[in-house]
Amino acid sequence: MTPYEPKKFALPALEGISPKSVEEHIALYEGYVKNFNVITATVADLLKDSEKNAHALSELTRRRSFEFDGMRLHELYFSQFENGVMPMGSGSPLSLALDAQYGGPERAITQIKAVAMMRGPGWSILYFDPQNKQFQIGFAGEQHQGHFVTLPIILALDVWEHAYLLDYGALGKAKYVDAFFANLNWSVIENRFSGTQRG
Amino acid sequence: MTPYEPKKFALPALEGISPKSVEEHIALYEGYVKNFNVITATVADLLKDSEKNAHALSELTRRRSFEFDGMRLHELYFSQFENGVMPMGSGSPLSLALDAQYGGPERAITQIKAVAMMRGPGWSILYFDPQNKQFQIGFAGEQHQGHFVTLPIILALDVWEHAYLLDYGALGKAKYVDAFFANLNWSVIENRFSGTQRG
Amino acid sequence: MTPYEPKKFALPALEGISPKSVEEHIALYEGYVKNFNVITATVADLLKDSEKNAHALSELTRRRSFEFDGMRLHELYFSQFENGVMPMGSGSPLSLALDAQYGGPERAITQIKAVAMMRGPGWSILYFDPQNKQFQIGFAGEQHQGHFVTLPIILALDVWEHAYLLDYGALGKAKYVDAFFANLNWSVIENRFSGTQRG
Amino acid sequence: MTPYEPKKFALPALEGISPKSVEEHIALYEGYVKNFNVITATVADLLKDSEKNAHALSELTRRRSFEFDGMRLHELYFSQFENGVMPMGSGSPLSLALDAQYGGPERAITQIKAVAMMRGPGWSILYFDPQNKQFQIGFAGEQHQGHFVTLPIILALDVWEHAYLLDYGALGKAKYVDAFFANLNWSVIENRFSGTQRG
């Protein structure tokens, strides 16, 4: 397999999320890319004697999604900040669809924030199901537990401790969640939604 | 939210998977649809007093993906049998892509089978990542643990005990896995892959 | 490490749980013992070059509890049937303690049965916490997820599909749960509780 | 049920683990106690109409171990620092047993440290199995995943991000693990082991 390459993000200064926190967070992201590539290469190597290595192959295979999802989710996360704050367009297709399902974007955001406050490391995620044209708001544990399978992601909010501990302390998740929403470039998020409306 | 409706599948008689086993399997699938709708409605109801119901809301939210994924994966599973056996087209885009990455479709299938033999209830899954144009073979625990997030699914093989126990006994998973592959309509699977090549 | 040896159980004929079902269940149990020993030996082997094998060591280490718990829980399960049905002693220490906490053993059993009906493969378990002298009723997913750490187990009820599918079908868990309770030798279970009252 | 009470720990100043980090860590511990009590009370309340509340009861039941294990593991963790550093007694029963199984306590510690470096939030744990008189070293994910069921814990090392992020940054786990071992009162740990040798 072709290894994955870590992406670079055009990040502005963020309000309420410090440069040091972002720097360490990016380093963690790059760790996911690196470890996914290493485990994938290890699996390929062990496959040369798949019978002898059956148990190791199984457990490395089981773990690949932890690294892959850590990679992919952080790419969705950081790109939401690229090029600076931009509000959701009133009357944009995303805004209209959130309005139709939740009675207004603000009410969807309130639910995403509530899910972000769930206990344990993970992600609060807004998915969209193209099959029945509805959003789903979910909590994914760590990187890889409990995703809505196959659904595209519209918005991804990291609530591992590394996302907020430096800036707000171990009990400061709520403040970080507010800071996250204050920094979003909604045009990126609107583009993701538009991408689900084609084909 | 609009409730999901259980789908009907045009299933032929299967070789090595008994009508009774299929009948119970379909009933389990319908249970996922029903339970997803019930939990989703319960969440909507509890949101009316979200502070008082915070813990119940959290844990029902955490569980929704178990039911959703059980629904969606079984839809991918049963539709692979619809309209009867059809071999993979030699020279089809799927066949060529598997050849390029694995050195032949048969070698990909061998790996999918090996992953299916991993211990524990779950699914052996062939995903495709449109971003870097590569397949990923993964094992998802139960319905919802360890998926490759956002990736479309090309092939989904159920290896819960209910899939094989009636026909082959608790130790008969390998025989069931062979039966699964003997019954596939590969044109369905090829169409899924083609769907990832657009846009 | 000294490998674990599979235990033999003095099982009577069970009411409503067929000999074939028991036979396959015992074979699955022996698989846990065997696989725990194999993974443990593999870990020991890979430790000889722990740097090169770091990822495989991690994931095999992560998985050992799945096999260990499968072994230990099945030993607790089968021994509950040994030597045939025996009712709970009215006025036994276990009976009195369940009475004090739940308002009667029957009400504890009702809760254990309700937990057994939770969706997904796992175990409904009655633990006892010697520190605060209270029982805890819990659901452990698969073999190893969500145990009450360090607590001794008083009663263990297997609700994987292999426990009931042959005898009652994929939708027959409730009937199996009733059969389980009809076959218990409560003196075994009372002895476990008495063991927690010493020291 | 009688609610659990948060414990107080006689903690000395720690080398390499700052007072602020300890203070926040204790607050997190108290959160586990509080949330376990709240969920337990909620379950008791919902049981009054167990049919109507079946789904919420299931998912709150499923989650109770997360809070319980967070409570119990942190009690094992902090008590290891109480009353200040004390080396392992050479020739103590624990030392001799580690020597017999691992070829010296230092080699056991090396393995515990390696397990602590596994990716993801959780615990590196030294268990002891009184049945076959052997230690098991395991990694428990978050608070509740993958424990060796029923086994007493001899040593518990927290490797969630909150344990090290303030003092060492998101990439500083190894330094924290060294600091952890530099602060241990081994007499506490030896007493746990001695407790498993009775009865």
Q: Which residues of C touch D137 (CB under 8 A)?
A: 61
Q: Does residue D199 carry a pLDDT above 90?
A: no
User: Contact partners of B by the rule of 3+ C-beta pairs under 8 A?
Assistant: A, C, D
Side-chain-facing half-sphere of A187: CA atoms under 13 Å: 5
The answer to whether the CB atoms of C55 and A42 lie below 8 A apart is: yes
Residue/partner pairs of B176-182 with CB below 8 Å, 24 or more apart: B176/B16, B176/B17, B177/B113, B177/B116, B177/B117, B178/B16, B179/B14, B179/B15, B179/B16, B179/B17, B180/B17, B181/B109, B181/B113, B182/B15, B182/B16, B182/B85
Q: What is the mean pLDDT of the segment spanning D160-177?
A: 98
| pLDDT tens, position by position, D2-45 | 999 999 999 999 999 999 999 999 999 999 999 999 999 999 99
Q: What is the mean pLDDT of the segment spanning D148-164?
A: 98
Distance of alpha carbon B161 from alpha carbon C31, whole angstroms:
15
Rounded to a whole number of angstroms, the distance between the first and last alpha carbons of chain A is 29
Residue C76 burial (CB count, 10 A) = 22
User: Contact partners of C by the rule of 3+ C-beta pairs under 8 A?
Assistant: A, B, D
The answer to whether the CB atoms of A165 and D169 lie below 8 A apart is: no
- Confidence band for C1, pLDDT divided at 50, 70 and 90: confident
Quick one: tokens of A33? 């890319």
* A166 Cα to chain D: minimum distance (Å): 6
- Confidence band for A198, pLDDT divided at 50, 70 and 90: confident
What residues have CB less than 8 Å from B178, skipping those under 6 apart? B16
The residue assigned the tokens 């846009």 is B199
| pLDDT tens, position by position, C37-92 | 999 999 999 999 999 999 999 999 999 999 999 999 999 999 999 999 999 999 99
- The SS3 call for residue D129 is strand
Biggest alpha carbon distance in chain B? Answer: 60
ipTM: 0.97
Q: One-letter amino acid identity for C148? A: F
Quick one: tokens of A112? 């995403």
Q: Which residues of A touch B61 (CB under 8 A)?
A: 115, 118, 137-139
Quick one: tokens of C2? 């000294």
CB of D90 less than 8 A from some CB of C: no
Nearest CB to C198; choose among D2, D61, D199: D199
The answer to whether the CB atoms of D161 and A166 lie below 8 A apart is: no
Closest residue on chain A to C43 (Cα):
A56
Distance of alpha carbon C151 from alpha carbon A113, whole angstroms:
35
pLDDT value of position A199: 57
127-156 of C, contacting B, C-beta below 8 A: 141-142
Nearest CB to D139; choose among C61, C136, C139: C61
* B145 Cα to chain D: minimum distance (Å): 13
Interhelix angle D54-79/D19-46, nearest 10 degrees = 150
- The SS3 call for residue D45 is helix
Distance of alpha carbon B181 from alpha carbon B158, whole angstroms:
12
DSSP-derived secondary structure letter, A13: P
Distance of alpha carbon D29 from alpha carbon D35, whole angstroms:
10
Quick one: tokens of B45? 């109801």
Q: One-letter amino acid identity for B166? A: L
The answer to whether the CB atoms of A165 and D165 lie below 8 A apart is: yes
pLDDT-flagged residues of chain B (< 50) = none
CB contacts < 8 A (A, D): 55
Distance of alpha carbon C42 from alpha carbon C35, whole angstroms:
10
Contact C126, C153 (CB under 8 A): yes
To 10 degrees, the CA torsion angle through D171, D173, D178, D183?
120
For chain C, what percent of residues have pLDDT higher than 70? Answer: 99
Biggest alpha carbon distance in chain A? Answer: 60
Distance of alpha carbon D131 from alpha carbon D148, whole angstroms:
13
B169: left (phi over 0), alpha (psi -120 to 50) or beta: left
Q: Which of D62, D65, D73 is nearest to D123 (CA)?
A: D73
Q: Which residues of B touch C35 (CB under 8 A)?
A: 119
Closest residue on chain D to A64 (Cα):
D119
| pLDDT tens, position by position, D42-54 | 999 999 999 999 9
Distance of alpha carbon C8 from alpha carbon B120, whole angstroms:
24
For chain D, what percent of residues have pLDDT higher than 90? Answer: 98
For chain A, what percent of residues have pLDDT higher than 90? Answer: 98
CB of A162 less than 8 A from some CB of D: yes
The answer to whether the CB atoms of A35 and D166 lie below 8 A apart is: no
For chain C, what percent of residues have pLDDT higher than 90? Answer: 98
Q: Which of C93, A150, A62 is nearest to B118 (CA)?
A: A62
pLDDT value of position B198: 80
Distance of alpha carbon B158 from alpha carbon B162, whole angstroms:
9
For chain D, what percent of residues have pLDDT higher than 70? Answer: 99
CB of D109 less than 8 A from some CB of C: no
Q: Which residues of C touch B66 (CB under 8 A)?
A: 119-120
Q: Which of B24, B35, B43 is nearest to B68 (CA)?
A: B35
Distance of alpha carbon C67 from alpha carbon D185, whole angstroms:
32
| pLDDT tens, position by position, C14-36 | 999 999 999 999 999 999 999 99
Length of chain C: 199
Q: How many helices (H) and strands (E) does chain A have?
A: 7, 3
Closest residue on chain A to D167 (Cα):
A166
* A93 Cα to chain B: minimum distance (Å): 18
Contact B107, B117 (CB under 8 A): no
Closest residue on chain C to A52 (Cα):
C42
Interhelix angle A93-102/A186-195, nearest 10 degrees = 80
Nearest CB to D24; choose among A24, A67, A169: A169
Contact A192, A135 (CB under 8 A): no
To 10 degrees, the CA torsion angle through A38, A44, A50, A55?
20
Distance of alpha carbon C158 from alpha carbon C161, whole angstroms:
9
Closest residue on chain A to B195 (Cα):
A199
Contact C46, C60 (CB under 8 A): yes
Contact C25, C163 (CB under 8 A): yes
Nearest CB to D161; choose among A165, A169, A171: A165
What residues have CB less than 8 Å from C120, skipping those under 6 apart? B66, B142, C141
Task: Kindly report the backbone phi and psi dihedral angles of residue D30, in degrees, each rounded to the nearest multiple of 5, phi listed first.
Answer: -65, -30
Distance of alpha carbon D45 from alpha carbon D48, whole angstroms:
6
Q: Does residue D131 carry a pLDDT above 80?
A: yes
Show the DSSP H helices in A80-172 as ranges: 93-102, 105-116, 165-168
The burial of D18, by beta-carbon neighbours within 10 Å (0-12 exposed, 13-18 middle, 19 or more buried), is given as: middle
DSSP-derived secondary structure letter, A84: -
16-55 of D, contacting B, C-beta below 8 A: 35, 38-39, 42, 46, 55
CB of A169 less than 8 A from some CB of D: yes
* A162 Cα to chain D: minimum distance (Å): 6
Quick one: tokens of C18? 């067929």
Q: Which residues of A touch C45 (CB under 8 A)?
A: none
The answer to whether the CB atoms of B63 and D60 lie below 8 A apart is: no
- Confidence band for C199, pLDDT divided at 50, 70 and 90: low
Q: Which residues of D touch B60 (CB under 8 A)?
A: 55-56, 59
Contact A155, A80 (CB under 8 A): yes
CB of A8 less than 8 A from some CB of C: no
Distance of alpha carbon A130 from alpha carbon D140, whole angstroms:
37
Rg of chain B over Cα atoms, rounded to whole angstroms, equals 18
The residue assigned the tokens 């008590």 is D79
To 10 degrees, the CA torsion angle through D22, D25, D29, D34?
110
Distance of alpha carbon A33 from alpha carbon A5, whole angstroms:
7
Q: Which residues of B touch D49 (CB under 8 A)?
A: none
Q: Does residue A64 carry a pLDDT above 70?
A: yes
Mean pLDDT of chain A: 97
- The SS3 call for residue B64 is helix
- Confidence band for D1, pLDDT divided at 50, 70 and 90: confident
Q: Which of C51, C44, C38 is nearest to C3 (CA)?
A: C38
To 10 degrees, the CA torsion angle through B174, B177, B181, B184?
160
The residue assigned the tokens 């235990």 is C7
Q: Cα B180 from chain centroid? A: 12
Closest residue on chain C to A61 (Cα):
C59
The answer to whether the CB atoms of A144 and B141 lie below 8 A apart is: no
Q: Which of C99, B75, A120, A191 is nearest to D70 (CA)?
A: A120
Quick one: tokens of D127? 């268990």
